[in-house]
Amino acid sequence: MLFLVVGCGSIGKRHIRNLKALGIQDIIAHDLKRERCQEVEQEFGLKCYADLEEALAGKPDVALICTPTSRHIPAALSAAQWGCHLFIEKPLSHSLDSVDELLAIVAKKGLVTLVGCNMRFHPGIVKMKELLEKQSIGKILSARVQAGQYLPDWHPWEDYRQGYSANISLGGGVLLDGIHEIDYITWFLGKVSQVFCFAGKLSSLEIDTEDTVEILMWLKSGAIAEVHLDYVQHPYGRSCQLIGEKGTILWDFNDKQVKLYSARTKEWQVFDQPPNYDTNQMYLDEMRHFIQCLEGKARPVQDAKQGKALLEIVLAAKESAAKSQVISLNQ
Protein backbone atom coordinates (compact mmCIF):
# COMPACT_ATOMS: atom_id res chain seq x y z
CA MET A 1 0.00 0.00 0.00
CA LEU A 2 1.06 3.57 -0.71
CA PHE A 3 0.78 5.87 2.33
CA LEU A 4 0.32 9.64 2.07
CA VAL A 5 1.20 11.76 5.11
CA VAL A 6 -0.71 15.06 4.97
CA GLY A 7 1.05 17.62 7.15
CA CYS A 8 4.73 17.30 8.00
CA GLY A 9 5.02 19.01 11.35
CA SER A 10 6.38 17.11 14.36
CA ILE A 11 3.59 14.52 14.48
CA GLY A 12 3.66 13.97 10.71
CA LYS A 13 7.40 13.35 10.83
CA ARG A 14 6.96 11.01 13.80
CA HIS A 15 4.45 8.93 11.84
CA ILE A 16 6.75 8.78 8.79
CA ARG A 17 9.57 7.59 11.02
CA ASN A 18 7.36 4.99 12.67
CA LEU A 19 5.88 3.73 9.40
CA LYS A 20 9.39 3.11 8.14
CA ALA A 21 10.27 1.35 11.40
CA LEU A 22 7.26 -0.93 10.86
CA GLY A 23 8.44 -1.84 7.38
CA ILE A 24 6.30 0.58 5.33
CA GLN A 25 8.55 2.07 2.65
CA ASP A 26 6.01 3.30 0.06
CA ILE A 27 5.33 6.76 1.51
CA ILE A 28 4.71 10.18 -0.02
CA ALA A 29 3.92 13.41 1.78
CA HIS A 30 2.21 16.78 1.46
CA ASP A 31 2.77 20.06 3.24
CA LEU A 32 1.81 23.60 2.30
CA LYS A 33 5.17 24.86 3.55
CA ARG A 34 7.85 24.22 0.94
CA GLU A 35 10.63 24.31 3.53
CA ARG A 36 8.96 21.45 5.39
CA CYS A 37 8.65 19.49 2.15
CA GLN A 38 12.37 19.97 1.57
CA GLU A 39 13.14 18.83 5.14
CA VAL A 40 11.05 15.68 4.71
CA GLU A 41 12.58 14.84 1.33
CA GLN A 42 16.08 15.25 2.71
CA GLU A 43 15.50 13.44 6.00
CA PHE A 44 13.39 10.52 4.75
CA GLY A 45 14.18 10.30 1.05
CA LEU A 46 10.57 10.49 -0.10
CA LYS A 47 8.60 12.73 -2.43
CA CYS A 48 6.74 15.63 -0.80
CA TYR A 49 4.13 17.65 -2.67
CA ALA A 50 3.13 21.25 -1.96
CA ASP A 51 -0.26 20.59 -3.61
CA LEU A 52 -2.60 18.05 -2.00
CA GLU A 53 -4.48 17.19 -5.18
CA GLU A 54 -1.20 16.47 -6.95
CA ALA A 55 -0.24 14.12 -4.12
CA LEU A 56 -3.64 12.39 -4.28
CA ALA A 57 -3.27 11.99 -8.04
CA GLY A 58 -0.51 9.52 -7.21
CA LYS A 59 -3.34 7.26 -5.98
CA PRO A 60 -2.27 6.54 -2.40
CA ASP A 61 -4.22 3.80 -0.62
CA VAL A 62 -3.98 5.41 2.82
CA ALA A 63 -3.84 9.01 4.06
CA LEU A 64 -2.59 10.15 7.46
CA ILE A 65 -4.13 13.54 8.28
CA CYS A 66 -1.62 15.43 10.46
CA THR A 67 -2.53 19.04 9.69
CA PRO A 68 -3.67 21.68 12.20
CA THR A 69 -7.05 20.65 13.63
CA SER A 70 -9.14 23.12 11.61
CA ARG A 71 -7.83 21.53 8.40
CA HIS A 72 -8.52 17.90 9.30
CA ILE A 73 -11.93 17.55 7.68
CA PRO A 74 -11.14 19.32 4.37
CA ALA A 75 -8.03 17.18 3.92
CA ALA A 76 -9.83 13.99 5.01
CA LEU A 77 -12.71 14.70 2.61
CA SER A 78 -10.32 15.12 -0.31
CA ALA A 79 -8.50 11.90 0.56
CA ALA A 80 -11.71 9.94 1.16
CA GLN A 81 -13.13 11.03 -2.18
CA TRP A 82 -10.04 9.48 -3.78
CA GLY A 83 -10.78 6.27 -1.85
CA CYS A 84 -8.06 6.55 0.80
CA HIS A 85 -8.35 4.80 4.13
CA LEU A 86 -7.87 7.40 6.86
CA PHE A 87 -5.80 7.91 9.97
CA ILE A 88 -6.85 11.30 11.38
CA GLU A 89 -4.89 12.88 14.20
CA LYS A 90 -6.90 13.83 17.27
CA PRO A 91 -9.26 15.55 17.53
CA LEU A 92 -11.38 14.65 14.53
CA SER A 93 -12.06 18.36 13.99
CA HIS A 94 -12.69 21.65 15.80
CA SER A 95 -16.38 21.68 14.84
CA LEU A 96 -19.04 19.37 13.42
CA ASP A 97 -19.01 21.12 10.04
CA SER A 98 -18.86 18.52 7.22
CA VAL A 99 -18.20 15.68 9.69
CA ASP A 100 -21.37 13.84 8.65
CA GLU A 101 -20.40 14.31 5.00
CA LEU A 102 -17.09 12.59 5.73
CA LEU A 103 -18.82 9.77 7.62
CA ALA A 104 -21.17 9.22 4.68
CA ILE A 105 -18.30 8.93 2.19
CA VAL A 106 -16.39 6.60 4.50
CA ALA A 107 -19.45 4.36 4.87
CA LYS A 108 -20.25 4.37 1.15
CA LYS A 109 -16.71 3.47 0.13
CA GLY A 110 -16.10 1.04 3.01
CA LEU A 111 -13.01 2.89 4.21
CA VAL A 112 -11.06 2.04 7.36
CA THR A 113 -10.72 5.02 9.72
CA LEU A 114 -8.80 5.55 12.93
CA VAL A 115 -8.72 8.77 14.96
CA GLY A 116 -5.40 9.26 16.73
CA CYS A 117 -5.67 8.11 20.33
CA ASN A 118 -2.09 7.22 21.28
CA MET A 119 -2.74 7.40 25.03
CA ARG A 120 -4.87 4.25 24.70
CA PHE A 121 -1.61 2.47 23.90
CA HIS A 122 0.35 3.80 26.89
CA PRO A 123 1.17 0.94 29.30
CA GLY A 124 -0.31 2.82 32.26
CA ILE A 125 -3.64 3.39 30.54
CA VAL A 126 -3.63 -0.19 29.20
CA LYS A 127 -3.07 -1.53 32.74
CA MET A 128 -5.89 0.59 34.16
CA LYS A 129 -8.26 -0.66 31.47
CA GLU A 130 -7.23 -4.23 32.26
CA LEU A 131 -7.89 -3.73 35.99
CA LEU A 132 -11.30 -2.21 35.25
CA GLU A 133 -12.29 -5.10 33.02
CA LYS A 134 -11.40 -7.44 35.92
CA GLN A 135 -13.67 -5.29 38.15
CA SER A 136 -10.74 -4.93 40.53
CA ILE A 137 -12.37 -2.07 42.47
CA GLY A 138 -16.02 -2.83 41.80
CA LYS A 139 -18.43 -0.22 40.53
CA ILE A 140 -16.69 3.06 39.62
CA LEU A 141 -18.20 6.03 41.42
CA SER A 142 -15.90 8.87 40.42
CA ALA A 143 -12.75 9.79 38.53
CA ARG A 144 -10.22 12.61 38.72
CA VAL A 145 -8.04 13.25 35.67
CA GLN A 146 -5.47 15.97 35.07
CA ALA A 147 -2.95 16.87 32.38
CA GLY A 148 -0.93 20.01 31.92
CA GLN A 149 2.31 21.42 30.60
CA TYR A 150 3.64 24.92 29.97
CA LEU A 151 2.85 25.47 26.29
CA PRO A 152 6.22 27.03 25.26
CA ASP A 153 7.91 23.84 26.51
CA TRP A 154 5.95 21.58 24.11
CA HIS A 155 8.07 22.40 21.04
CA PRO A 156 10.93 24.55 22.39
CA TRP A 157 12.54 24.65 18.95
CA GLU A 158 9.70 26.81 17.55
CA ASP A 159 7.69 29.90 18.52
CA TYR A 160 4.67 28.62 20.47
CA ARG A 161 2.65 31.63 19.33
CA GLN A 162 2.75 30.38 15.74
CA GLY A 163 1.59 26.84 16.54
CA TYR A 164 -1.98 25.63 16.12
CA SER A 165 -2.40 25.21 19.89
CA ALA A 166 -2.15 28.96 20.41
CA ASN A 167 -4.56 29.96 17.65
CA ILE A 168 -8.33 29.52 17.73
CA SER A 169 -8.49 29.86 13.93
CA LEU A 170 -6.39 26.68 13.60
CA GLY A 171 -8.51 24.71 16.08
CA GLY A 172 -6.24 25.26 19.06
CA GLY A 173 -6.95 25.51 22.77
CA VAL A 174 -6.37 23.12 25.63
CA LEU A 175 -9.91 21.68 25.43
CA LEU A 176 -9.26 20.22 21.98
CA ASP A 177 -5.57 19.53 22.64
CA GLY A 178 -6.41 17.72 25.87
CA ILE A 179 -9.04 15.48 24.29
CA HIS A 180 -6.87 12.46 25.15
CA GLU A 181 -7.99 12.67 28.77
CA ILE A 182 -11.66 12.85 27.83
CA ASP A 183 -11.10 10.00 25.40
CA TYR A 184 -9.56 7.54 27.81
CA ILE A 185 -11.91 8.33 30.70
CA THR A 186 -14.91 7.63 28.46
CA TRP A 187 -13.11 4.52 27.18
CA PHE A 188 -12.95 3.45 30.82
CA LEU A 189 -16.38 4.54 32.00
CA GLY A 190 -18.67 4.83 28.97
CA LYS A 191 -20.91 7.51 27.51
CA VAL A 192 -21.47 10.98 28.94
CA SER A 193 -24.93 12.35 29.69
CA GLN A 194 -24.15 15.86 31.05
CA VAL A 195 -21.21 18.28 30.95
CA PHE A 196 -20.35 21.42 32.90
CA CYS A 197 -17.19 23.38 32.23
CA PHE A 198 -15.22 26.44 33.29
CA ALA A 199 -12.62 27.51 30.71
CA GLY A 200 -10.55 30.63 30.18
CA LYS A 201 -7.22 32.23 29.38
CA LEU A 202 -5.83 32.88 32.85
CA SER A 203 -2.11 33.19 32.13
CA SER A 204 0.10 35.75 30.38
CA LEU A 205 0.71 33.42 27.42
CA GLU A 206 0.36 35.20 24.08
CA ILE A 207 -2.47 33.03 22.75
CA ASP A 208 -6.12 33.60 21.83
CA THR A 209 -7.37 30.25 23.18
CA GLU A 210 -8.28 28.98 26.64
CA ASP A 211 -5.29 27.79 28.69
CA THR A 212 -7.02 26.42 31.81
CA VAL A 213 -10.08 24.19 31.95
CA GLU A 214 -12.11 22.36 34.60
CA ILE A 215 -14.75 19.91 33.35
CA LEU A 216 -17.36 17.92 35.24
CA MET A 217 -18.97 15.02 33.40
CA TRP A 218 -21.90 12.91 34.56
CA LEU A 219 -21.62 9.55 32.88
CA LYS A 220 -24.52 7.31 31.95
CA SER A 221 -23.03 4.66 34.24
CA GLY A 222 -23.79 6.96 37.16
CA ALA A 223 -20.17 7.94 37.79
CA ILE A 224 -18.92 11.53 37.95
CA ALA A 225 -15.63 12.50 36.28
CA GLU A 226 -13.60 15.63 36.94
CA VAL A 227 -11.05 16.64 34.27
CA HIS A 228 -8.43 19.38 34.61
CA LEU A 229 -6.46 20.54 31.54
CA ASP A 230 -3.96 23.38 31.19
CA TYR A 231 -1.19 24.98 29.13
CA VAL A 232 0.54 26.48 32.18
CA GLN A 233 1.71 23.70 34.51
CA HIS A 234 5.34 23.42 35.65
CA PRO A 235 6.52 20.69 35.38
CA TYR A 236 4.59 18.46 32.99
CA GLY A 237 1.97 16.44 34.82
CA ARG A 238 -0.52 13.73 33.88
CA SER A 239 -2.47 11.47 36.22
CA CYS A 240 -5.73 9.66 36.85
CA GLN A 241 -7.55 8.47 39.97
CA LEU A 242 -10.48 6.05 39.78
CA ILE A 243 -12.57 5.57 42.93
CA GLY A 244 -14.66 2.43 43.19
CA GLU A 245 -16.81 0.77 45.81
CA LYS A 246 -14.07 -1.79 46.50
CA GLY A 247 -10.92 0.31 46.16
CA THR A 248 -8.95 2.88 44.20
CA ILE A 249 -6.73 2.86 41.12
CA LEU A 250 -4.05 5.54 40.67
CA TRP A 251 -1.87 6.25 37.65
CA ASP A 252 0.85 8.87 37.40
CA PHE A 253 2.69 9.43 34.12
CA ASN A 254 5.81 10.78 35.84
CA ASP A 255 5.95 8.06 38.51
CA LYS A 256 5.63 5.46 35.73
CA GLN A 257 3.35 3.17 37.69
CA VAL A 258 -0.23 2.15 38.36
CA LYS A 259 -1.30 1.50 41.96
CA LEU A 260 -4.31 -0.54 43.06
CA TYR A 261 -5.72 -0.27 46.59
CA SER A 262 -8.01 -3.07 47.71
CA ALA A 263 -10.60 -2.28 50.39
CA ARG A 264 -10.67 -6.01 51.20
CA THR A 265 -6.93 -6.48 51.86
CA LYS A 266 -6.26 -2.84 52.81
CA GLU A 267 -3.04 -3.03 50.80
CA TRP A 268 -1.57 -1.36 47.73
CA GLN A 269 -0.45 -3.36 44.71
CA VAL A 270 2.02 -1.60 42.41
CA PHE A 271 2.40 -2.21 38.67
CA ASP A 272 5.55 -0.63 37.27
CA GLN A 273 5.90 0.57 33.71
CA PRO A 274 8.34 -1.51 31.60
CA PRO A 275 11.90 -0.35 32.35
CA ASN A 276 13.44 2.14 29.91
CA TYR A 277 10.05 2.63 28.26
CA ASP A 278 10.25 5.03 25.31
CA THR A 279 7.10 7.15 24.94
CA ASN A 280 7.38 6.77 21.16
CA GLN A 281 6.41 3.14 21.71
CA MET A 282 2.75 4.09 22.15
CA TYR A 283 2.82 5.84 18.78
CA LEU A 284 4.45 2.77 17.24
CA ASP A 285 1.80 0.53 18.79
CA GLU A 286 -0.93 2.87 17.58
CA MET A 287 0.39 2.74 14.00
CA ARG A 288 0.84 -1.03 14.20
CA HIS A 289 -2.81 -1.27 15.26
CA PHE A 290 -3.86 0.89 12.29
CA ILE A 291 -1.95 -1.34 9.88
CA GLN A 292 -3.62 -4.40 11.40
CA CYS A 293 -6.99 -2.70 10.83
CA LEU A 294 -6.05 -2.09 7.18
CA GLU A 295 -5.16 -5.77 6.87
CA GLY A 296 -8.49 -6.81 8.39
CA LYS A 297 -6.82 -8.27 11.48
CA ALA A 298 -8.28 -5.81 14.00
CA ARG A 299 -11.15 -3.37 14.50
CA PRO A 300 -10.26 0.32 15.06
CA VAL A 301 -10.25 1.24 18.74
CA GLN A 302 -11.71 4.60 17.70
CA ASP A 303 -13.07 5.09 14.19
CA ALA A 304 -14.31 8.38 12.72
CA LYS A 305 -17.86 7.83 14.02
CA GLN A 306 -16.55 7.36 17.56
CA GLY A 307 -14.26 10.34 17.01
CA LYS A 308 -17.36 12.43 16.29
CA ALA A 309 -19.00 11.32 19.57
CA LEU A 310 -15.83 12.32 21.45
CA LEU A 311 -15.75 15.70 19.68
CA GLU A 312 -19.36 16.29 20.70
CA ILE A 313 -18.32 16.06 24.36
CA VAL A 314 -15.62 18.71 23.88
CA LEU A 315 -17.98 20.99 21.98
CA ALA A 316 -20.53 20.57 24.79
CA ALA A 317 -17.82 21.64 27.26
CA LYS A 318 -17.09 24.71 25.12
CA GLU A 319 -20.79 25.55 25.03
CA SER A 320 -21.08 25.08 28.77
CA ALA A 321 -18.15 27.43 29.42
CA ALA A 322 -19.65 30.05 27.11
CA LYS A 323 -23.15 29.84 28.61
CA SER A 324 -22.26 28.93 32.23
CA GLN A 325 -24.77 26.11 32.21
CA VAL A 326 -24.97 22.31 32.19
CA ILE A 327 -25.17 20.84 28.69
CA SER A 328 -26.96 17.52 28.10
CA LEU A 329 -25.75 15.07 25.47
CA ASN A 330 -27.80 12.55 23.53
CA GLN A 331 -25.30 9.97 22.34
Residue ranges of domains in the chain, CATH in brackets = 3-111 (3.40.50.720), 119-277+301-328 (3.30.360.10)
Q: What is the pLDDT of residues 128-173, one digit of tens each?
A: 999 999 999 999 999 999 999 999 999 898 899 999 899 999 999 9
Q: Is the pLDDT of residue 9 over 90?
A: yes
Alpha helices in 30-89 (DSSP H): 34-44, 52-56, 72-81
Count Cα neighbours of 270 within 13 Å in the Cβ-side half-sphere.
Answer: 7
β-bridge partners, 224: 142, 218
Average pLDDT (208-218) is 98
- The Cα 269–Cα 306 span in angstroms is 33
Write down the pLDDT at residue 212.
98
Under the banding of pLDDT at 50, 70 and 90, the label for residue 182 is very high
- The Cα 93–Cα 98 span in angstroms is 10
Average pLDDT (98-105) is 98
The proportion of the chain whose per-residue pLDDT surpasses 90, expressed as a percent, equals 98
Under the banding of pLDDT at 50, 70 and 90, the label for residue 331 is confident
Asked if residues 12 and 31 have their Cβ atoms less than 8 Å apart, the reply is yes
Q: What is the pLDDT of residues 63-84, one digit of tens each?
A: 999 999 999 999 999 999 999 9
Asked if residues 146 and 227 have their Cβ atoms less than 8 Å apart, the reply is yes
Taking the model in full, what pTM does it have? 0.96
Q: Is the pLDDT of residue 39 over 90?
A: yes
Asked if residues 22 and 2 have their Cβ atoms less than 8 Å apart, the reply is no
